[in-house]
Amino acid sequence: MSIYNLTAKASDGSEQSLSAYKGKVLLIVNTATGCGFTPQYEALQALYEKYHAQGFEVLDFPCNQFGNQAPGTDEEITSFCTLNYNTTFPRFAKVEVNGENEHPLFTYLKKEKGGIMGSKIKWNFTKFLVDKEGKVVSRFSPTTTPDAIESKIKALL
């Protein structure tokens, strides 16, 4: 099993294979538009702009499981992120990250890197760093800012 065997629905509704990201460093984040951590979108976009040409991708997975903080449609979420944070990195359709309906990508990520609550994701803006070979190398809590991850991203590039 590899991250590249998985697919996810893009925010436009199309099914996308994660194999499209082979050979890239990935930061996979479960996000929300109405969360105290939502301003992290700005720093995520800054990292994306700084390192995208070197093979870095931010993969945004909106999730409404924590405090109903991503209540909008996929279109509304994309509009909010574009208008408020000028995000240009790939955004996927809203997913669940815990429980019986969790997306297989998050089942895989949590199996590879557990957290403080075991395999469960605690809150919005949990981040997983994946190397160019598709190995999950680090998991970061919501309170870890994107800036604090920059040196690890640079090392993997």
Q: How far apart are CA 31 and CA 61, in angstroms?
A: 6
User: Is residue 63 among the annotated active site residues?
Assistant: no
Give the CA radius of gyration of the chain. Answer: 14
Catalytic residue among 28, 35, 59, 109: 35
Q: Nearest Cα to 62, choosing from 73, 47, 53, 51? A: 73
Distances (CA, A) of 55 to 8, 115, 131: 20, 27, 10
Residues labelled as active-site residues = 35
